[in-house]
């Protein structure tokens, strides 16, 4: 199994799990980062859930892409996505909007992006 296939598969499963958490109990998910679990947080989380479902489907269906421009595009897109999410989490921590647990999530997001950088090169 190639690194790309493994990375796409594991990330797809993670996105699917995140979709479920956001859809079922998004307000509580926000609370893990020190955000009030109010109606607004739940609303935004439920709206974001399908995005992660779509990512899961794309990654799962495209996990066998051969080296080439399509796979490069998917890898670069994943890097931008995960590093962007990490940067926004760090920014929210720096401005005091999120608690320190967001830094754990940001670390995981940076690692996922890095895995796609490496997978693209192999």
Q: Which residues contact 64 (CB under 8 A, 6 or more apart)?
A: 5
Joined tokens for residue 37: 């679990």
Per-residue pLDDT for the chain (122 aa), expressed as one digit of tens each? 899 999 999 999 999 999 999 999 988 888 999 988 888 889 999 999 999 999 999 999 999 999 999 999 999 999 999 999 999 999 999 999 999 999 999 999 999 999 999 999 98
Q: Which domain holds residue 57?
A: 3-121
With CA atoms as reference, report the closest residue to 55 among 24, 10, 92.
10
Number of domains in the chain: 1
CA-based R_g, the chain, Å: 15
Locus of tokens 């995140």 = 18
Q: What is the pTM of this model?
A: 0.92
């Amino acid at each position: 199994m190639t690194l790309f296939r493994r990375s796409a598969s594991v990330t797809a499963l993670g996105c699917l799990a995140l979709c479920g958490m956001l859809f079922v109990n998004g307000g509580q998910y926000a609370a893990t980062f020190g955000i009030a679990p109010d109606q607004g947080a739940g609303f935004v989380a439920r709206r974001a859930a399908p995005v992660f479902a779509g990512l899961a489907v794309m990654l799962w269906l495209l996990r066998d892409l051969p080296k080439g421009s399509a796979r490069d595009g998917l890898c670069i897109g994943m890097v931008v996505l995960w590093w962007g999410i990490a940067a926004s989490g760090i920014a929210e921590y720096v401005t005091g909007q999120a608690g320190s647990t967001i830094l754990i999530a940001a670390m995981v997001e940076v690692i996922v992006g890095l895995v796609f950088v490496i997978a693209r090169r192999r």
